[in-house]
Structure 1
Amino acid sequence: MKNTKMTTASTVSMAVLIGLTTWAIPAQAEEATDYRVPAMIDNSAPIAALSTLTSINNAKPLKVTVPSIVHFNTKSGVPVSFVRAAALPIVDIDLRFNAGSARDGSLRADGFGIASMTATMLTQGSKKLAENDFTRAVETLGIDLSSSAYKDMFTISLRSLSDDEHLLPAVDLMTQMLTEPSFDKATLARNKARLLVGLQQQKQDPSSLASLAFNEALYGKHPYAHPSSGTLTSVPSIEQQDLIAFKDRYLVAANASLAITGNLSIDQAKKLAEDITANLPKGQAASVLAEPKALTKGQHIHIDFPSSQTTVLMGQLGSKRATDPKEQQQQTNFAVGNEVLAGGDFNARLMTEIRQNLGYTYGISGSMSPMLTRGPYQISFSTRNDKARMAIDASLKVINETLAQGITASEMQLTTDNLKNSFPMSFASNIGINGLLGTMNFYKLPDDYLTNYMSRINNVQLAEVNKTLRDTLDPNNFLIVTVGQDNPWDQASAKPQ
């Protein structure tokens, strides 16, 4: 049986810290004659083993020293954030461009999938090395070298040992794929054929169908509406020249930011940054994305799918990445409140009521995904077909009651304690530190965004948390997408049994 992915303490911390909340639509649950979950844990009862740990009550406030960040610009103007981490002989490099799939339509109206295909093909050979030779060189060095396209950003990442014998040829491969990709036509044709098979298979995945329908309905004509990988209609039209045009327009110095973490001196880091960016065209920064328009009334969409389970995805337009300290505090307030309402653990209200008390689902959670413009807020779960309407109604009831009555002081305290004590896990590794650096650099967040994290948590006030929840969420105007055999809106709305 597949369970919904639970949110770990470190993930909760990252959700509030940098907003990198990854929502996952629960996998389709297996059939069961009795959908109620037996032998559920009673969270209201104290845990005997923990009741003896009186030292927890006397623990001193956590003191955290965040990594020291050094900033500089390359000669081509690329901003660089560097953290020296000498404990391991490893270097992590994170090069980001304001060039995600939201830019596909700027090249041509039906260009969906160009950014994603460009990312795929950067690692498939350069003008100096054919695909097999390039792959062999990467494997021989034992490095991790990848490129990816998301809604907002285009990333190139490298992890290598820090000695010159490994790092220098690794950086050479990175610059080859960045500035001299082959974009071989035969390889492109193979990629398109494989991708089309994958897109066809998505039609058999209810979670994918729900996500596609949700984004299309929520964003309408906004660039976030289309899938990053492209569509069955757009992918066949992608040509080599499209990839070249994307690279020449967006993979440029004026559109880039760089993060480096590892066993390097500041002089070595500066030289490394110059080596990576020296051959980047200057170019121009990408234009500012338009703000999407929020739905003015609730909308229900049902997709017929032959399954004993109904996948439910509901939510609304959410927040954009906050750069103002006041807005950052508000987003922290919301994250704390939402963790109580819709976090992935068993203390969350939705999980307690919809899974434990009513037995409608194996897991339910919701999160905010802020981006350059307003990202989505989504709650997801799967349930038995004949329980879908009751599960949706019960979920909306929990949300409305939470907004009306607010979360409690004890719920808030439990969540803030969790966040503060798990905070150091966010930079417990080189790759974790570099991920933070890359995100802060990309969204132009100041260093005190990281150093003031504990202060933002300590500044959380119950009244402000509840106010932010009420100001942000509007369940009466939720977009609700269901994928299953029966349309829940044909079922009578009934009180949960």
Structure 2
Amino acid sequence: MKAHVPPFLSVKPALLTTALLATFTMGAAFAQAATEMPSGEHASADVDITQPIKAIDKLESLKNEQKLSLSIPKFQHFTTSNGVPVIFVQTKQLPIVDVDLRFNAGSARDESIRKQGFGLASMVADLLTKGTRDLDETAFAEATEQLGIELSSAAYKDQFVVNLRSLSDAEHLDPALSLMSSIITQPRFDAQVLERSKAQQVLALKQMMQNPSYLASTTFSQTLYGSHPYAHSPYGTQQSIPALTRNDLQKFHDTYFVAQNATLSLTGDLSLSQAKQAAEAITQALPQGKPAPKLPNPTPIKQSKWVHVDYDSDQTSVMIGQQGYRIDPSAKGIQRGTDFSIGNEVLAGSGFSSRLMGKVRKELGYTYGIYGSMTPMQAPGPYTIRFSTRNEKADEAIAATLQTVNDTLKQGITAQEFKLTQESLINSYPMGFASNAGINGMLGVLNFNKLPDSYITDYINRVEGARIDQVNTALRDTLTPDKFIIVTVGKPDIAKKSQLQKLK
């Protein structure tokens, strides 16, 4: 039985190799996890994940690997009559259209409307899909249900996203587009619904404050960013949410939901002409307005610091990191990001072959998982390493993490690690094009951040063309362990002579 692959993807045996390897590795991982104790200690008979899988040698079809060939769908650019930039990709495999509308209006803009108005963007997102000028909450829900559409909104730190998924025939798509246009231009912001949503949000925040991972995340952001807009959580606080008013929501909407502050992406079963009509239907009622002002740079961190939050738990949640870099659409900036991602995958990737996973999890048995990632944003975003461990092992686990980072920066990654990571990133890349939603999500990021098409279309070439010396340089230029913020939440047993004690 031959698997169906969309025409714009031509996946060669190299991808199959990776998929099978991933399957076997997952099996080994589950087998390993089954032998572990809740404390995190592991049995002596662990599967050695550094060794080749002998069964692969039995698969004759994998011995003649060919280079991966990927045909990326055509990106078509146009601008609506009121100036909204649009990227469109035509796909005909399914009668579906995905729409991604973004505004430069995330939680970083909360205080531009109300001082200490944390959670404002999130509350706007919550109420946006709970009624329009002509439809109350119940009627709106019935309309979306009858059309069989998915219409959602979400606020992040940097951006506000409205998504629509609908069948592509005019009978369903036209009223769906009309409904989407209504929520972004004529939101109801019903006072009673707002009060209920605020009460629900406060209750959710009380529950979230019982989550050590959330406590670690909010403490880390506050310590890392200080007075910068990135310092606060998009969800707001138990104190800020009750103070928000309908006028605050309306002012936020009127300020940022404008054509000059929007980008639009479309993927699906439409012609270019139909896509242009759809884009007009969504955006034509948006006022021109003004683009949101550039966000300020955060104050740089000058030295490492340890911040502890006492929490009654057998485990300690740990976050370690620093201010990273901003989104850079230049060719040099894009290549630097690719180089860093290769190096970081070796150091702190999600696979069992990463150095942090090998040291802190497999060798020392201090945690089930440890991962590190960079989040570039409009202003320098955070680089974070996260894990949880037993209280009595927190000090040693943090020390092992920092030592592994420092050793990697000093010694660099090896040629073997470099080659394996290149192949892994290249072979997994086509999976991002496996669905309309995946494609449209890429387009949304591309359009919002004003990145060139080559950011997506030349990714494999950038990875293939990367050099190990450039990758190691990107790691050393980016990561600064002497300025790491270290956050612990729990009851960790920190020795009096621990290096952490000097960072209080």
Task: Give the partner amino acid of 2:146.
Answer: T
TM-score by length of 2: 0.90
Q: Deviations over 1:386-438 (max 9, x none)?
A: 00000000111111111111111111111110111111111111111100111
Aligned to 1:423: 429
- What CA distance in whole angstroms lies between the structure 1 residues aligned with 2:40 and 2:139? 55
Q: 1:33 to 1:236 in 2, by over 3 A?
A: closer
User: Equivalent of 1:275, from 275, 281, 284?
Assistant: 281
User: Equivalent of 1:304, from 289, 293, 310?
Assistant: 310
Given that 1:80 and 1:258 are in contact with CA atoms closer than 8 Å, whether structure 2 keeps it comes out as yes
Aligned to 1:254: 260
Aligned pairs for 1:112-123 within 5 A: 112-123=118-129
Determine helix, strand or coil for the equivalent of 1:289. coil
User: How much has 1:475 moved relative to structure 2?
Assistant: 1.3
- What CA distance in whole angstroms lies between the structure 2 residues aligned with 1:293 and 1:95? 31
Determine helix, strand or coil for the equivalent of 2:198. helix
User: Equivalent of 1:207, from 210, 213, 236?
Assistant: 213
Aligned to 1:3: none
Is 1:66 aligned to 2:60, yes or no?
Answer: no
User: How much has 1:54 moved relative to structure 2?
Assistant: 6.0
Is 1:389 aligned to 2:395, yes or no?
Answer: yes
Aligned to 1:373: 379
Is 1:358 aligned to 2:355, yes or no?
Answer: no
User: Equivalent of 1:75, from 71, 81, 84?
Assistant: 81
Is 1:98 aligned to 2:104, yes or no?
Answer: yes
User: Equivalent of 2:467, from 458, 461, 466?
Assistant: 461
User: How much has 1:35 moved relative to structure 2?
Assistant: 2.9
User: Equivalent of 2:342, from 336, 341, 351?
Assistant: 336
Q: Deviations over 1:256-285 (max 9, x none)?
A: 000001101111111111111111011000
Aligned to 1:216: 222
Is 1:125 aligned to 2:123, yes or no?
Answer: no
User: How much has 1:37 moved relative to structure 2?
Assistant: 5.4
Task: Give the partner amino acid of 1:232.
Answer: Q
Q: Deviations over 1:57-94 (max 9, x none)?
A: 54222121111011110000000100110111000000
User: How much has 1:291 moved relative to structure 2?
Assistant: 1.2
User: How much has 1:32 moved relative to structure 2?
Assistant: 3.3
- What CA distance in whole angstroms lies between the structure 1 residues aligned with 2:479 and 2:429? 26
Determine helix, strand or coil for the equivalent of 1:82. strand
Given that 1:31 and 1:308 are in contact with CA atoms closer than 8 Å, whether structure 2 keeps it comes out as no
Q: Deviations over 1:115-168 (max 9, x none)?
A: 110011000111111101101111121111001100110011000000111111
- What CA distance in whole angstroms lies between the structure 1 residues aligned with 2:40 and 2:426? 40
Task: Give the partner amino acid of 1:457.
Answer: V
User: How much has 1:493 moved relative to structure 2?
Assistant: 6.3
- What CA distance in whole angstroms lies between the structure 2 residues aligned with 1:66 and 1:431? 15
Aligned to 1:226: 232
User: How much has 1:489 moved relative to structure 2?
Assistant: 5.8
Q: Deviations over 1:184-229 (max 9, x none)?
A: 1111000111111111112211000000000000000110001101
Task: Give the partner amino acid of 2:452.
Answer: P
- What CA distance in whole angstroms lies between the structure 2 residues aligned with 1:456 and 1:78? 30
Q: Deviations over 1:447-495 (max 9, x none)?
A: 122121111111111111111111111112210000012353657469x
Aligned pairs for 1:395-434 within 5 A: 395-434=401-440
Q: Deviations over 1:305-330 (max 9, x none)?
A: 00000010000001111201111111
Is 1:161 aligned to 2:167, yes or no?
Answer: yes
Any gaps of 5 or more consecutive residues in structure 2?
A: 1-14, 19-35
User: Equivalent of 2:489, from 474, 483, 488?
Assistant: 483
Determine helix, strand or coil for the equivalent of 2:164. strand
Aligned to 1:50: 56
- What CA distance in whole angstroms lies between the structure 1 residues aligned with 2:38 and 2:497? 21
Q: Which has the higher contact order (CA 8 A, sep 6+)?
A: 1
Determine helix, strand or coil for the equivalent of 1:381. strand
Determine helix, strand or coil for the equivalent of 2:46. coil
Q: Deviations over 1:159-188 (max 9, x none)?
A: 000011111111111111111111011110
Q: 1:476 to 1:178 in 2, by over 3 A?
A: same
User: How much has 1:44 moved relative to structure 2?
Assistant: 2.7
Q: 1:57 to 1:435 in 2, by over 3 A?
A: same
Aligned pairs for 1:437-448 within 5 A: 437-448=443-454
Q: 1:215 to 1:433 in 2, by over 3 A?
A: same
Is 1:470 aligned to 2:485, yes or no?
Answer: no
User: How much has 1:52 moved relative to structure 2?
Assistant: 3.7
Q: 1:449 to 1:175 in 2, by over 3 A?
A: same
Q: 1:493 to 1:248 in 2, by over 3 A?
A: closer
User: How much has 1:299 moved relative to structure 2?
Assistant: 0.4
User: Equivalent of 1:183, from 179, 185, 189?
Assistant: 189
Given that 2:106 and 2:156 are in contact with CA atoms closer than 8 Å, whether structure 1 keeps it comes out as yes
Is 1:145 aligned to 2:190, yes or no?
Answer: no
Is 1:289 aligned to 2:295, yes or no?
Answer: yes
Given that 1:37 and 1:355 are in contact with CA atoms closer than 8 Å, whether structure 2 keeps it comes out as no
Alignment root-mean-square deviation, CA? 1.8
User: Equivalent of 1:108, from 101, 111, 114?
Assistant: 114
Determine helix, strand or coil for the equivalent of 1:112. coil
Aligned pairs for 1:10-29 within 5 A: none
Determine helix, strand or coil for the equivalent of 1:300. strand
Task: Give the partner amino acid of 1:431.
Answer: A
- What CA distance in whole angstroms lies between the structure 1 residues aligned with 2:383 and 2:190? 39
User: How much has 1:53 moved relative to structure 2?
Assistant: 4.2
Given that 1:36 and 1:360 are in contact with CA atoms closer than 8 Å, whether structure 2 keeps it comes out as no
Q: 1:487 to 1:219 in 2, by over 3 A?
A: farther
